[in-house]
Amino acid sequence: MTTDASPSPAHGSAKHLYQRHQAVLPDWLAVYYADPIELTHGEGRHVWDAEGNKYLDFFGGILTTMTAHALPEVTKAVSEQAGRIIHSSTLYLNRPMVDLAERIAKLSGIPDARVFFTTSGTEANDTALLLATAYRRSNQILAMRNSYHGRSFTSVGITGNKGWSPTSLSPLQTLYVHGGVRTRGPYADLDDAGFIAACVADLEDLLGHVRPPAALIAEPIQGVGGFTAPPDGLYAAFREVLQERGILWIADEVQTGWGRTGDNFWGWQAHGQNGPPDILTFAKGIGNGMSIGGVVARAEVMNCLDSNSISTFGGTQITMAAGLANLTYLLEHDLQGNARRVGGLLIERLRAIAAQLPGVREVRGRGLMIGIELVKPGTDQADPDGAAAVLEAAREGGLLIGKGGGHNTSVLRIAPPLSLTVAEAEEGAAILERALRSTQF
C-alpha cells in the first residue's frame, strides 16, 4: 500500500473505532481484514483509509461504486438536488423519479414496463417475490443452488447459499434447481450442451412432482456465490419450460446489471433467446453509492396488487438525481464497452498468472466481474483460509478485493468501477499476483 499525506481524522485509531463497532453493532455484521480499515475518501478507482493509506479499489463497495469514486457529475447532481428538496415520498409527484423510471423501462427490454423504486437489492427482490406470488397465487418459488438474493426474511428464505442463510423458516416454499455453478455438481463433467440438457431435464422432473410455482428467480451470474455462471442459453432453455406452465422468470440483476458483464447491458441478455424476463430487479451500481434499488415488470404483473402501497424512501429525489447523472455518464462514456475491453485483458492476465499456481482452480467471469477460485494445491478442496490470506496480502499491497463462493468462501471477487483503465488493471493484477505468491501458493 502507499501512504498519502492526507491527515488522519481526529477521532481515534481504526482499532479504537473497531472496538466501538463491536460494542454496539451485531456480531454477525461481517467486516473484512484482521485489522479492519476505515475508508474516508475516494477518487476515481482509488480510496484512502483513516491512516492515509491509498488503495486501488477492485471491489467498489460490493459492486456499488459503478462508475468512479467522487464522480463530479454525480456529486454535482446530488449537491444541486439537496439545495432544492431531498425527499417527499411517493405520495407526491416526483420528476426525477419519473425521469429515471422512463430511462430504465426503455433499457430493460421488457415491453409495457413499469418501474418501482426501492432502497436496496434486498427490498427489490422482496417486491419481486410479492408480485410473483400475488400474480400467480402461489407461494412456491424456484431458486438456484448457491444463490444469494438479500438479507430480509423473505429473501433469506430463497437464498441457496447456506453461509448467507441464517434460518430455514420462510413464508415461501422454495425448490432449488441445478445449473448456477458450471464446474461443480453432478453435471460438471458434461459439455455445455449436455449440461443445459441435464439441467432442463432436472427442472422438468421437479415440476412434475409439485404444484406450479409462482416464479424462478435467478442471478445470471451468481454474485455472493463466487461469480459463477451457467453456459449461455441455460435460462433461455429454462424459460421455454416455464412459459409452457405460466411460471414467471425473475432476473436478479442487482450485481450483473448496467453493463458490468461487458458483453451485455443486462446479464439476462446472454439467455434472452426466448425474450426478456417477466420481472427484473436492480440496485447497487445505478446509484454509484446512493441507496437505489428497484423492480421492472410488465404492466399486468406490476399492477396485480389489489391494495394500496407507497414507498417512503424508494425513489426519493436525491437518490434519483444521483441515478440519472450516473446512468447518463455510464452511457455517454460507453463504460459497458470499457468493461468488455479492459475486463477481457484483466481476465487473460489473471489466467496467465493462475496457470503457474496449483492453488488456483479457476479464473472465471465476464467483463469486470471476475472470480478466482482457490483450492488446496493438489486437491479439489476449497481453501477459505487461503482466500482470507490472499485478501489480507492484497490489502497490504494496496489493493482491495472481495471474497465469496458457495464452497466455504474460497473465491476472490474482483469488480472494479467500470471506468478502470488498462494501466490500473495491470497494476491490480501485479499486486494480486504478488499476494497469491506470498501465501501458500
Task: Identify the CA nearest to 258 among candidates 232, 226, 294.
Answer: 294
User: How do 369-374 and 173-177 pair as beta strands?
Assistant: unpaired
Mean pLDDT for all residues in the chain: 95
- Is 145 in the same domain as 132? yes
% of residues, the chain, pLDDT over 90? 93
- Is 93 in the same domain as 171? yes
**C-alpha pair distances (Å), 273 with each of 201, 245, 432:** 19, 18, 37
Q: Are 231 and 273 in contact (CB under 8 A)?
A: no
pLDDT tens, position by position, 391-439: 999 999 999 999 999 867 899 999 999 999 999 999 999 999 999 999 8
User: Cell numbers of 307, please?
Assistant: 391494495
pLDDT tens, position by position, 244-301: 999 999 999 999 999 999 999 999 999 988 899 999 999 999 999 999 999 999 999 9
Q: Give a yes or no: residue 69 inside a domain.
A: no
Q: Give a yes or no: residue 379 inside a domain.
A: yes
- Is 293 in the same domain as 405? no
Output the pLDDT for position 234. Answer: 97
Which of 36 and 9 is assigned the larger pLDDT?
36
Of the three residues 307, 332, 357, the one that is the final residue of a domain is 332
CB atoms within 10 A of CB 212: 13
Output the pLDDT for position 2. Answer: 63
pLDDT tens, position by position, 41-67: 999 999 999 999 999 999 999 999 999
- Is 322 in the same domain as 346? no
How many whole angstroms separate alpha carbon 341 and alpha carbon 351? Answer: 16
Q: Give a yes or no: residue 267 inside a domain.
A: yes
Report the CATH number that the domain containing residue 23 is assigned in CATH.
3.90.1150.10
Amino acid at 221: I
- Is 285 in the same domain as 301? yes
pLDDT band with cut points at 50, 70 and 90 for residue 206: very high
Q: What global pTM score does this model have? A: 0.94
Amino acid at 303: N
**C-alpha pair distances (Å), 232 with each of 6, 145, 197, 238, 271:** 47, 17, 13, 12, 6
How many whole angstroms separate alpha carbon 378 and alpha carbon 362? Answer: 13
Q: Give a yes or no: residue 303 inside a domain.
A: yes
Lowest mean pLDDT among 108-122, 155-169, 322-336: 155-169
pLDDT band with cut points at 50, 70 and 90 for residue 5: very low
Check pLDDT > 50 for residue 9: no
- Is 224 in the same domain as 312? yes
pLDDT tens, position by position, 135-152: 999 999 999 999 999 999
- Is 185 in the same domain as 161? yes
- Is 223 in the same domain as 356? no
293: region left, alpha or beta (phi > 0 left; psi from -120 to 50 alpha): beta
pLDDT band with cut points at 50, 70 and 90 for residue 440: low
% of residues, the chain, pLDDT over 70? 97
How many whole angstroms separate alpha carbon 268 and alpha carbon 251? Answer: 7
How many whole angstroms separate alpha carbon 218 and alpha carbon 216? Answer: 6
What is the average pLDDT across 381-389? 95
Give bridge partners of residue 177 from the DSSP assignment. Answer: 144
- Is 170 in the same domain as 286? yes
User: Cell numbers of 300, please?
Assistant: 399486468
- Is 379 in the same domain as 263? no
Report the CATH number that the domain containing residue 299 is assigned in CATH.
3.40.640.10
251 in helix, strand or coil? strand
How many domains are there within the chain?
2
How many whole angstroms separate alpha carbon 152 and alpha carbon 293? Answer: 14
pLDDT tens, position by position, 330-372: 999 999 999 999 999 999 999 999 999 999 999 999 999 999 9
User: Cell numbers of 170, please?
Assistant: 420462510
Of the three residues 332, 356, 391, the one that is the final residue of a domain is 332
pLDDT band with cut points at 50, 70 and 90 for residue 7: very low
What is the average pLDDT across 164-175? 91
Q: Mind giving me the DSSP string for 181-194?
A: -SSSSTTTTS-HHH
Q: Are 253 and 284 in contact (CB under 8 A)?
A: no
- Is 305 in the same domain as 372? no
CB atoms within 10 A of CB 384: 16
Q: What domain range is 283 assigned to?
A: 75-332
Q: Mind giving me the DSSP string for 290-340?
A: B--EEEEEEHHHHTT--S----SSTT-HHHHHHHHHHHHHHHHTTHHHHHH
User: How far is residue 425 CA from its own chain's centroid?
Assistant: 20
How many whole angstroms separate alpha carbon 367 and alpha carbon 362? Answer: 16
Of the three residues 299, 315, 332, the one that is the final residue of a domain is 332
Q: Give a yes or no: residue 70 inside a domain.
A: no
User: Cell numbers of 209, please?
Assistant: 412432482
- Is 363 in the same domain as 426? yes
Q: Give a yes or no: residue 68 inside a domain.
A: no
